[in-house]
Amino acid sequence: MTVSWKEWILAACSALGLVCGPSAQAPAPADSAAQARLGAELTLRIGESVAVQGADLRVGFDSVADSRCPPKVLCVWEGDAAVTVSLVRPSTGARTTVELHSNAGFAKPTIYEGFRVALTSVAQPADHVTLVVTKS
């Protein structure tokens, strides 16, 4: 497969625009009644958070910096979506913020207060993510 210089320039400009562009953030109000099951996939939009049933844990999707290659664009690198997730223990007020990645080279779950939080997918465009929370 040969790539014309115009296609290469378009791909490079697209990639630079994604890498250098602003990260997506939106301070949407959290739904305090929302709940997710432990071990089941949960989908969150930016600014949303959910309580995990049967666990003293609340998970929120805070922001994303998305440098992934857009669909149908030729890119040198597939990129990465770095997702910022907040984890809160409501009973103690303990909280932390972690960064999870979509790229297999960076991807690894996080362990927090006896729970394992893994990123399973990031929509494109990155307006929602899917996570799984299990006991560690």
pLDDT the model gives residue 71: 86
pLDDT in the model for residue 33: 62
Per residue of the chain (136 residues), give pLDDT as tens.
444 444 544 445 444 444 434 444 333 344 556 789 999 999 999 999 999 998 999 999 999 999 999 888 899 988 999 999 999 999 999 999 999 999 999 989 999 999 999 999 999 888 999 999 999 8
Residue 78's pLDDT is what? Answer: 87
pTM of the model: 0.73
CA distance 27 to 31: 12
pLDDT (0 to 100) of residue 16: 44
Burial class for 10, CB neighbours closer than 10 Å (0-12, 13-18, 19+):
middle
